[in-house]
Amino acid sequence: MITRILNRMKQIITLAAVSILSASCLAQSHPGAEEFAARAAKEHGFDAAETMELLGDARFKESIVEAMTRPAEGKDWHEYRKIFLNEERIEGGVEFWREHEELISRAAETYGVEPEMIVSIIGVETYYGRITGGYRVLDALATLSFHYPENLRDRSAFFSRELMNFMLLGKEEELPLREVKGSYAGAMGLGQFMPSSYLEYAVDLDGDGRRDLWSSVADATGSVANYLRRHGWKAGQPVTARASVAEGASTGPVTRSSYKPEKTLSDLAAEGFTTALDIPADTRSGIVRLRESAGDSYWLTFDNFYVITRYNRSALYAMAVYDLSQAVRAAREAG
């Protein structure tokens, strides 16, 4: 009897030691994992042991770190533009629009966003659903939460919040967290929503009780339209216009960080930036400079341009979305 008790005690001690060692190994493989699990338990009621087990299944991916250091938005405009403004992507947009015309029209009318803008964002993000990402979202978010590239401005706190939101999303939408796939940054579905955006802006437009951004085109298009509307999109309002630049004009007004319009067109005209379009002089605008193959071009940008940059905070991205939207609409109307 005593021998059995002693053996049982040894087993318990051994299991406890293994558990401690496993947690220690996990903390070493994902620095900060234990603190994250404790925060998940305190702030959202997750079981800390289950969170550690989930993180134990998350794999560090060197390819994700490498991808973060060479984003497409680091290219010059003339290089970036041709990724998205080509015959195949334009024709693909026309085809996608025609195939899902009723659903796209419903999303556009429900949320007050032009249909070509919805089509274009999905076209830029995932090639109309052809490329939604091959990384496990769990791996992507864990890698960028706990192993963010040291040579870049530290955004690990952002990805840690997204990892937490991913866990919340898993509970809310009953997603299999170990199986869900997305981009190297953890974005998901046809419109590439980060977990926080999924939680906040995704909609159930098809009314089946779930917000499915992978296989429900209704939910995906509705969610993209809702995202734009919630960030201030105004249908029928200008997005951007090429600027004429007076000789000797200073480049001081050029936007370099936030793309929220701050000056009126009359203010910018006084500084040497004008447009041939008939837009009220009191309209607020910004100035963006793009690097073309034959020199720089300057563009007046308006509130709707700023809204697109809320989706991806890059002037190149916003210009590509707008240009593709216009090209797809023109091709569709041409028959």
CA dihedral 30, 35, 36, 38 (to 10 degrees): 140
**pLDDT at residue number 20:** 39
Which of 125, 173, 179, 200 is catalytic? The answer is 125
Residue 288: predicted pLDDT: 95
Enter the tokens of residue 228.
Answer: 């734009």
Q: pLDDT value at position 134?
A: 95
- Provide the pLDDT for residue 23: 40
CA torsion sign for 47, 48, 52, 53 is negative
- pLDDT of amino acid 19: 41
Sign of the torsion angle spanned by Cα atoms 275, 279, 280, 284: negative
pLDDT of residue 26: 45
pLDDT for res 25: 45
3-state helix, strand, coil in the chain (%, to 5): 55, 10, 35
**In the chain, where does the domain assigned CATH 1.10.8.350 lie?**
34-70+133-187
Task: Single out the residue of 68, 23, 83, 15 nearest to residue 48, CA to CA.
Answer: 23
Asked if residue 275 lies in contact with residue 62, where contact means CB atoms within 8 angstroms, the answer is: no
Which residue is it, tokens 């290089």? 79
pLDDT of residue 15: 40
Report the pLDDT value the prediction gives residue 141, as an integer from 0 to 100: 98
**What architecture does CATH give domain 76-130+191-234+317-335?**
Orthogonal Bundle (1.10)
**Distance from the first to the final alpha carbon of the chain:** 88
Homologous superfamily assigned to 34-70+133-187? Bacterial muramidase (1.10.8.350)
What is the torsion angle, in degrees rounded to the nearest 10, for the CA atoms of residue 317, residue 319, residue 324 and residue 330? 170
- The whole-angstrom separation of Cα 74 and Cα 229 is 28
Q: Does 271 qualify as catalytic in the annotation?
A: no
C-alpha separations of 90 from 119, 190, 323 in Å: 10, 17, 10
pLDDT for 69: 87
pLDDT by 10-residue block (mean), the chain, 335 residues: 48 41 52 96 97 96 91 87 96 98 98 98 98 97 95 93 98 95 97 98 97 97 98 97 92 83 94 94 95 92 97 95 98 93
User: What pLDDT score was predicted for residue 255?
Assistant: 78
Reading the block at residue 331, the tokens are 């091709």
Nearest 5°: phi and psi at 135? -90, 145
User: How far is Cα 7 from Cα 3, in angstroms, rounded to an integer?
Assistant: 6
CA separation for the pair 284, 98 (Å, rounded) = 35
Start and end residues for every CATH 1.10.530.10 domain found in the chain: 76-130+191-234+317-335
- CB under 8 Å to 69, separation ≥6 — which residues? 149, 151, 152
The Cα–Cα gap between 85 and 183 comes to 21
pLDDT tens digits, one per residue of 287-319: 999 999 988 999 999 999 999 999 999 999 999
* Per-residue pLDDT at 144: 97
What does the alpha-carbon distance between residue 335 and residue 330 come to, in Å, rounded to a whole number?
Answer: 9
**Predicted local distance difference test score (pLDDT) of residue 323:** 98
